[in-house]
Amino acid sequence: MGYVLVEATNMGIYPPVFSDTHEVVYDKMRKRIAEIRGVPVYEVQESLTICKDWGWAEKDGVSYTFRIFEVPTQVSTDKETVFTQSTRSRFHEDGICPLCGKEIDYVGAYEHDDDGATLDWQCPSCGASGKAGYTFAFDQHYCIQDGEGNEVE
């Protein structure tokens, strides 16, 4: 396994940074955040103690979000492929962007299939987009009628 650092803004996703070790991409993230904030790297270290795989910075009205993912070492360097592979089965919460953790906007209408439905979404914070998947689950019976068509309560 290897590690990838993904940097995204409300303008789009930057080319990812790969490494065999977590420390290398973590150090790159710290230095980039310090550069954006205009502060020494040790100040960034203090703000990342809660979660070492996520960081953020803001400058001139642009929000920067950083996320470190563990990925197979033979992963593509194409940013769309990396985004897809790195977010699969990670950080799934309804209404929350799996990349930056902020609220998403739903777009359009549900697309139904045999197992449930999907709904397109976009993240106004980092520019990511995708589909939210919902599966149908049994709730209860409604409008019950006996064999002769009489309503049963």
Q: For 1-57, what is each residue's pLDDT tens digit?
A: 677 788 887 667 777 777 878 888 888 888 888 888 888 887 776 556 546 677 778
Closest CA to 64 of 95, 102, 21: 102
What does residue 111 show for φ and ψ, rounded to 5 degrees?
Answer: -110, 115
N-to-C CA span, the chain:
58
The pTM (predicted TM-score) of the whole model is: 0.47
CA angle 55, 51, 77 (to 5 degrees): 55
